[in-house]
A and B are shown apart, each in its own frame.
Chain A
Amino acid sequence: MGLVVKAPWPEALADLRAPESLDAFRLSLICSLSATAIAIVLGVPLAWVQARMEFRGKNLLRALTTLPMVLPPVVGGVALLLAFGRRGLVGSYLFDAYGIRLPFTTAGVILAETFVSMPFLVITVEAGLRSMNRGLEDAARTLGAHRWTVFRRVTVPLVGPSIFAGAVLCWSRALGEFGATITFAGNFPGQTQTMPLAVYLLLETRPDAAVVLSLVLVVVSLIVLVALRDRFLNVS
């Protein structure tokens, strides 16, 4: 509400059309959606492993999975720098062998957002898998379905709502990501400057534009939440 009152409406449109705003908006969408896609691809199998398999070190794996949730995002960014920085453990290898540089690039933003947001998806999907009727998987097996077929034709469709809800949580977390992104990927307009970073920067120089951009974030989040609510009601 405060944002709506404070918004300098006449100049708002001009601010929105400014190239740096559009860039930040575009970058935020691309990076948060990419991070969500990667989180689904990696997170759903990870959740399955945690929910269905018994092995030593499972508790350690689960702790590692949820660590980014409790870690201050800035610390996560520092950890990413140590691992994927030019002199980092993985980063130096990536650069020497393939010439790939992650920090301070758009790919770095996606990595930082994935790192911070994936736990939300993993935890939601794991809970869905645990509450699912295991008997249905047994039934599929007695019908000749091998592990992958069971996963694809029974498990995934049945935990579909959990995957969807987890993806939404994951996406909204990625969209709002600030600390890890600015630490690991910096704040270069057009390359790594996402909406939250742009808002932070504008607040120093042009507070009015910052308010308008914030308002855009609020509207986007609201639209998504309302759309999802309908979707969830239809599912149930």
Chain B
Amino acid sequence: MTLRANVNLRLGTLQLALGLVAAPGEVLALLGPNGAGKTTLLRALAGLQPIEAGGIELDGVTLDSPLAGAFVPAEDRSVGVLFQDYLLFPHLSVVENVAFGLRSRGADQPLQTARLWLQVMDLDAYAAAKPAQLSGGQAQRVALARALAPAPRLLLLDEPLAALDASTKVAIRRELKKHLSLFEGICLLVTHDPVDAAALADAVLVIEDGRVVQQGKLPQITARPRSRYVADLVGVNLWRGQAVDGQVSVGVASISAADARDGDVFALVHPRAVSLYVERPDGSPRNVWRGRATSLDFAGDRVRVRVDGPVPLVAEITSAGLAELGLVGGEEVWVSFKASEVDVYSA
């Protein structure tokens, strides 16, 4: 039982071209910014959006193959979808919502099975209620029960926690993790929140502009970001450039790095390794330049200062350090960091 997909399609300005493989019992997170094509990918897997090239195969059965002229429509795929806004049927009661898939797939005693699912989700009391009477978390559990009830082999979750407010998110995330761990099929989770990916998924696929830019376990991905998106998520400075003799050229400037192998590389510097000065600093740091402090972000007793210059970057200093510098934003400052603080890895 495996999902193999090689999805190529164009939708408006989005060009989707990516491949993925997922095994049963595994939760694979598709992490990426808005507009990266995550939802379109889910729609292609669900059969709501035909692909233009490539193929989708579940358990050795071809679901979509433009070359072979094969296409299994959504209603005939063993796929359950938890939509971003849940899309519960407003005119049906909760139990009828859960029974919907069982009825259309011709299951025996759909209502009884639906009631069992409501018990599993701890929602028996709401069987007769209409979706409009439910809280966000309850609606999400009904939508999950509805997707799981017909026992799909592939479960697709589209931003399952995005519609919830922060105060309930933690409890509902824990709840969702429990239900996902009981699911025996293949599970794909779309999210733009790395916290969801870390909590719910076994492996992560980072998607940007319709392409996979990085994949693996989340700690590996965040330790060695390979895109601006992941770098921003983690909060580090990341540049891509050509390394020659310990110098990484980034745009018009270059950065000195202690152990850079020649070639196309990523250079990573943690904001905490960057120091700011009012006067030009003396001493050993090789990377020194002048820039303008454009914005200040306070987080606890630390401050992230964005500095524009030959190489724009973010420095993280203490609020005491900020007071010493007397920065309020807009001033010229000196930036410096050691060559040994630059982590270089091949692109």
Contact = CB atoms under 8 A, between A and B. Distances in A.
Given A138-B74, A141-B48, A146 B87 contact: no
Contacts of B91: 157-158, 160
B89 A149 contact: no
A138 B104 contact: no
B52 to A, nearest CB: 18
Contacts of A154: 89
Contacts of A143: 75, 80, 100-101, 104-105, 146-147, 150
Contacts of A139: 81, 83, 87, 89
A133 B73 CA distance: 20
A188 to B, nearest CB: 46
B74 A142 contact: yes
B25 to A, nearest CB: 22
B145 to A, nearest CB: 12
A135 B85 contact: yes
Contact of A135 (B74, B76, B87, B150): B87
B27 interface: no
Contacts of A133: 87
B48 A146 contact: no
A144 B87 contact: no
Contact of B104 (A149, A158, A160): A149
B46 A140 contact: no
A228 interface: no
A140 B150 CA distance: 12
Contacts of A153: 100
A142 B104 contact: no
Nearest to B77: A142
A202 interface: no
Interface string A112-155: 00000000000000000000010110111111111001000110
Nearest to A133: B87
B75 A146 contact: yes
- Quick one: which of B48, B85, B146 has the most chain A CB within 10 A? B48
Interface in B128-153: 146-147, 150
Nearest to B87: A139
B79 interface: yes
Given A135-B83, A138-B74, A139-B83, A144 B101 contact: yes
B310 interface: no
Contacts of A135: 83, 85, 87
A145 B103 CA distance: 9
Interface in B34-62: 43, 46-48
Interface residues of B, number: 25
A208 B80 CA distance: 69
Given A138-B74, A157-B91, A144 B83 contact: no
Given A142-B46, A143-B146, A145-B75, A136 B87 contact: yes
Interface in B94-131: 100-101, 104-105
A112 to B, nearest CB: 36
Contact of A144 (B43, B85, B104): B104
B251 interface: no
B40 to A, nearest CB: 13
A141 B87 contact: no
B90 interface: yes
A143 B46 CA distance: 10
B74 A141 contact: yes
A158 B150 contact: no
B191 to A, nearest CB: 19
Interface in A142-198: 142-146, 149, 153-154, 157-158, 160
Nearest to B156: A142
Contacts of B47: 141-142
Given A136-B87, A136-B89, A138-B74, A145 B48 contact: no
Nearest to B149: A143
A170 to B, nearest CB: 23
Contact of A142 (B48, B85, B89): B48
B73 A141 contact: yes
A143 B100 CA distance: 7
Contacts of B81: 139, 142
A144 B150 contact: yes
Contacts of B104: 140, 143-146, 149
Contacts of B76: 144
Given A143-B146, A144-B75, A138 B87 contact: yes
B329 to A, nearest CB: 44
13 contacts: A135-B85, A139-B87, A140-B100, A141-B74, A141-B75, A142-B74, A142-B75, A143-B105, A143-B147, A144-B105, A145-B100, A158-B91, A160-B91
Top 7 closest pairs, chain A to chain B, by CB: A143-B101, A139-B87, A144-B104, A141-B74, A145-B104, A144-B105, A142-B81
Given A136-B89, A138-B43, 14 more contacts: A135-B85, A135-B87, A139-B89, A141-B74, A142-B46, A142-B77, A142-B81, A143-B101, A144-B76, A144-B104, A144-B150, A145-B104, A146-B75, A158-B90
